[in-house]
Structure 1
Amino acid sequence: MKQPLAYVHPAAKIAPSVVIDPFVTIDQNVEIGEGTRIGSNVTIMEGARIGKNCTIFPGAVISAIPQDLKFRGEETLAIIGDNTTIRECVTVNRGTAARGKTVVGNNCLLMAYCHVAHDCIVGDNVIMSNATQLAGEVVVDNFAVIGGGTLVHQFCHIGPHVMIQGGALVNKDIPPYVKAAREPIAYAGVNSIGLRRRNFSNEQIREIQEIYRYLYLSALNVSDAVERIEAELPATKERDEIILFVRNSKRGIIRGYV
């Protein structure tokens, strides 16, 4: 249902059940899935791919060109998954030649004034609280919860099931299943409450806590701690995921709290 006061480019592919409020602008090379609602004064630019049953609140801008001086006008995308809510004045830039796309997954909530820069990959079931700012090429894995006003440095990787304190300055990778807090940002324990809410067993949580005792409470350096974890703790999905994350970290993981 299109409001007469909205502008929709004739080449845009809009599912019949999409609701478009007044003063919306939708450019060419845009696709929007069934059941989505686009609030007033939203701007959706070239390269947007928006899934089913999303809600985009007034003032949001989706798929504007990257704020990257290396961008040369290449054809790239900004992809929003199904059942995702984009609140007021959120900005999601499209990709560059680096990855070719910016992605926000399914069942996400991006609260007001969040920014997702070029080539970010945001997983499923992620919550970004008000005014969270992701710089370029950040990766946020599934079920991460980021507190309001958090600033994330380019190229950082935030692992799955992570909880980050509001107002944090994130300049290192944050490994899976942990809480990150304090200034400068540091390991603040395992996100046990979040894990229980997502049906992790007490045994799984204890195993994760034991892994992080090696990493953060043993006085070992990171590489030695990883070797000890692999040699001394039983192989589990969670253990192997943490080891792989730490070994693949390009920026290094957050420090332990001293």
Structure 2
Amino acid sequence: MIQPHTYIHPGAKLAENVKVDPFTVIHPDVVIGEGTWIGSNVTIMDGARIGKNCRIFPGAVISAIPQDLKFEGENTIAEIGDNTTIREFVTVNRGTNDRRKTTIGHDCLIMAYSHIAHDCIIGNHCILSNNTQMAGHVIMGDWAIIAGMSAVHQFSKIGAHSYIGGGSLVSKDVPPYIKAIRQPLTYGGVNSVGLKRRGYSMGQINEVLDIYRVIYNQGLNTSQALEYVEQEFRASDERDEIVSFIRESERGIVKRSGGKGSAILEE
């Protein structure tokens, strides 16, 4: 259903039951899946690949060129998965030569005034709360949540099932399953409430708690802590994900707030 006063380039590919409200502009190299609603005053630019049953609210700009001086007009895309909601005035830039695309997974909620820069990879079931500002090349795991008014440094990684408190400045990697809070951003415990909501057993949650007690509370450096975890904890998806994430971190992970063990990440 296409409303009057809407411009859709003949080259755009929209499923038959896509609804587009007035005063929206859709550029030629665009694909939109069935059941998606595009609100008023939305601009969807070349390279947009939008899935099924998405909702894009007024004022959003999807797949604008990157705000990156190295961008030279290369053919890149911005992907949005099925059942994802993009609220008012969100901006999503398409990729550069680095990854060739910016990706938002399925069943995500991107709240008003948020920005997702070029080459970001957002997992499935993620939430970016109001006015989250995400620089380029960020990777965000499934089920992660960023509370409002937060800013994420370029090339940062945010682990699956993590929670980042409101007003945070994320300049270090945030490991999976934890809460990151305070300023400067620090380890604030395990996201046990989120894990319970997603069906994790108490045994799994307690294992994650015990692993992070070793990493953050025993005064070990990173290498020592990871070696201890691998030796003393049985192999599991949770253990292996934590160890792999920390071992592969290039920026270093958030630290524990002051007191004993606060310098455990210093090699």
Structure 1 counterpart of 2:72: 72
Q: For residue 21 of structure 1, what is the amino acid of its counterpart? A: D
| CA displacement, residues 23-56 of structure 1 (integer Å, 9 cap, x when unaligned) | 0000011000000000000000000000000000
Structure 2 counterpart of 1:84: 84
CA distance in 1, matches of 2:257, 2:220: 14
Percent of pairs with identical residues: 60
CA distance in 1, matches of 2:198, 2:38: 30
Q: For residue 122 of structure 1, report the CA deviation from its aligned partner.
A: 0.2
Q: For residue 257 of structure 1, report the CA deviation from its aligned partner.
A: 1.6
Matched, 1:117 2:93: no
CA distance in 2, matches of 1:23, 1:62: 15
Structure 2 counterpart of 1:248: 248
- 5 Å matches for 1:162-173? 162-173=162-173
| CA displacement, residues 207-251 of structure 1 (integer Å, 9 cap, x when unaligned) | 000000111000001111001101111111100010000000010
Structure 2 counterpart of 1:221: 221
CA distance in 2, matches of 1:94, 1:162: 25
CA distance in 1, matches of 2:138, 2:82: 21
| CA displacement, residues 99-122 of structure 1 (integer Å, 9 cap, x when unaligned) | 000000000000000000000000
Q: For residue 4 of structure 1, report the CA deviation from its aligned partner.
A: 2.0
CA distance in 2, matches of 1:211, 1:13: 49
CA distance in 1, matches of 2:183, 2:30: 41
Structure 2 counterpart of 1:233: 233
Q: TM-score, normalised by structure 1?
A: 1.00
Q: For residue 257 of structure 2, what is the amino acid of its counterpart? A: Y
- 5 Å matches for 1:95-244? 95-244=95-244
CA distance in 2, matches of 1:240, 1:33: 36
Which stretches of structure 1, 4 residues or longer, exceed 6 Å deviation after superposition? none
Q: For residue 203 of structure 1, what is the amino acid of its counterpart? A: G
Q: For residue 137 of structure 2, what is the amino acid of its counterpart? A: E
Q: For residue 58 of structure 1, report the CA deviation from its aligned partner.
A: 0.2
Structure 2 counterpart of 1:22: 22
Tell me the SS of whatever aligns to 1:211: helix
CA distance in 1, matches of 2:77, 2:123: 16
CA distance in 2, matches of 1:231, 1:151: 36
CA distance in 1, matches of 2:81, 2:117: 16
Tell me the SS of whatever aligns to 1:208: helix
Q: TM-score, normalised by structure 2?
A: 0.96
Tell me the SS of whatever aligns to 1:68: coil
Unaligned runs of 5+ in 2: 259-267
CA distance in 1, matches of 2:166, 2:4: 41
Equivalent residue pairs, number: 258
CA distance in 1, matches of 2:198, 2:109: 17
Tell me the SS of whatever aligns to 1:62: strand
